[in-house]
Structure 1
Amino acid sequence: MQAFRHCGLCVSRSFFQSRTDFLHSEANMAAIRRAAACLNFLRGASTSFCSNRSVRQLRRSTGTSRNQTAAFSVGTGLCALPFAQAENLSHESLIRRASCLVTDSANTYLSQTTLALVDALTLYTKALHTLIALQKRYLDSIGKLTPAEEDSIWQVLIGQRVEVSDRLDECKRFESNWMNAVNICELSAEAAYSSGAEHASMALKTSLQVAQSKVEDMKKIQLAAEKSLAETKADEIQRMAEYASSIKLQDLEDVPEAYLRED
């Protein structure tokens, strides 16, 4: 700065002199050279200052552009994320959803009716076996019981037969509900398959097959118990006939010979 002030003073002084004296004076020539050197120095300093400032601005702008680029990249990344789109609520999709709900309800109805029918068949079979055991016990004790004991056993047999009849009516009632559930499941499975819900249709058909298999197994046990009861009744009829004939023979043997003679 001092050199700049000194050069400016020298230049200002030289302009107050005449042009001829100024050119021929060695002092003035030296002043011109110093002024030129000062101008070159100032030009270099200003150029360096401007270049440094330009570099800083460039760095600053570069950093800003990088931040903007990063923000833009983050934004574009968020925009590129595959957000879940809502399912198209067309008539086909709504019908498919409704058919799936129907299959679920039909499966629940089938499960409840199957459980009720299986339990009813189980209780009915147990009642049959109890009746069979009582009848066999009675047949084994024919002719060995007093009238009071025989009457007591007959009361138990009658009560057990009433229970068997009630259990059979319960089985018929639950079987009617179960058949309705089977029909509903078949229709629901067909509706689900036609609407495009093949998975729900196949699942319901599988549940239907399992339910039918369980009921068939219990009915086989029931039929076996009923067959055993029928055999026991046939044996009872035969034993009672034999017992009645034996009583008649005994009565005939007890009649006095005088009453058997002809007059």
Structure 2
Amino acid sequence: MAAVRRGAACLRFLRKHVNVLFSNGKPAVHRLSKWTGITHRHVVFLSVGGGLCAVPFRQTESLSHESLIRRAASLVTDSSSTFLSQTTLALLDAFTQYSKAVHTLIGLHKRYLASLGKLTPAEEDSIWQVIIGQRAEVNERVNECKSFESSWFNAVKLCETAAEAAYNSGAEQASVTVMTNIQLATSQVEDARKISVNADKMLAEAKVMEVEKMTAYSSTQENDDEEEIPEAYLRED
């Protein structure tokens, strides 16, 4: 019953205003036609309690194929940039760990050379076991660097392809952003690679020094042995 009363009241309200519009002549008709045009374009009619109530709404512009492609290209550049960022971090960490392992190995060699002739056979064997283990870690770090470097190169190629696709689809800003990320990542990797190359040079120099010192030590030992032999013969005589 309440719904019926509200419907009847709404109908009376509409009839009253319609009568007023038509009773006032042309101006009212002009106003009615004006609002009727708006109603056809931007109004949805809803039935409430038996009456009609107009609810205005804003039309949403449909997305074109071009805009959807641009959005998709932008998403591709975002994903490829994330891939590049993760592989860059992994490669930088691999270069850092490799450099640390190399410097540790160099330190072990220096300690061994400094203690030549002062160690018992057991102590010398123990040091060599540590050196061999450190060499194995250096080789493991080398393989890790190669693996991450391969992934990093793939990430760079993917980013370059995504940048080209974004540019061709009209997403110029996304293309510029990913190209900037490539340049930054390349700069960081080059700096880290220089550090690892420097560590390689230091290791090579340490090996040369080790060979020279071991050769000199062996020569000294041989000379000592040669000097001791005549003395032994003299004592026997």
**TM-score, shorter chain, exceeding 0.5:** yes
**Runs of 4+ off more than 3 Å:** 81-85, 257-260
Q: Deviations over 1:77-96 (max 9, x none)?
A: x96x9946334322x22322
Amino acid in structure 2 at the alignment position of 1:182: V
1:229 to 203, 206, 219: 203
Question: When you count helix as a share of all residues, which structure comes out higher?
Answer: 1
Quick one: which of 70, 88, 91 aligns to 2:63? 88
* 1:169 corresponding residue in structure 2: 143
Is residue 202 from structure 1 mapped to residue 202 from structure 2 by the alignment?
no
Distance 1:204 1:82, change over 3 A: farther
| Equivalent of residue 113 in structure 2, options 134, 139, 144 | 139
Alignment deviations for residues 155-197 of structure 1 (CA, whole Å, 9 cap, x no partner)? 0000000000001101100100001001111111111111111
Question: Which residue of the other structure, out of 135, 152, 157, is the alignment partner of 1:183?
Answer: 157
1:104: which partner in 2? Answer: 78
How far is 1:144 from its partner? Answer: 1.4
Alpha carbons of structure 1 residues 255 and 220: separation in structure 2 relative to 1, 3 Å: same
Q: Does 1:220 align with 2:194?
A: yes
The SS at the match of 2:140 is helix
Give 5+ residue unaligned stretches, structure 2.
1-19, 43-55
What residue is the counterpart of 2:49 in the other structure?
none
- Whose strand proportion is higher, 1 or 2? 2
5+ residue gaps, structure 1, are: 1-60
Q: How far off is 1:209 after superposition?
A: 1.1
Q: Distance in 1 between matches of 2:139 and 2:164?
A: 38
Q: Which moved more, 1:93-102 or 1:117-126?
A: 93-102
> Partner of 1:252 in structure 2?
226
1:125 alignment counterpart = 99
Distance in 1 (CA, whole Å) between partners of 2:64 and 2:202 is 60
Supply the AA of the counterpart residue of 1:234: V
- Measured in 2, the distance between the counterparts of 1:111 and 1:157 equals 35
Cα distance in 2 for residues equivalent to 1:106 and 1:126: 30
- Give the % identical residues: 57
Question: What TM-score do the two structures reach when normalised by structure 1?
Answer: 0.66
CA RMSD of aligned residues (A): 3.0
Offset of residue 247 of structure 1: 0.6
- Find the counterpart in structure 2 of residue 154 from structure 1: 128
- Deviation, 1:230, is 0.8
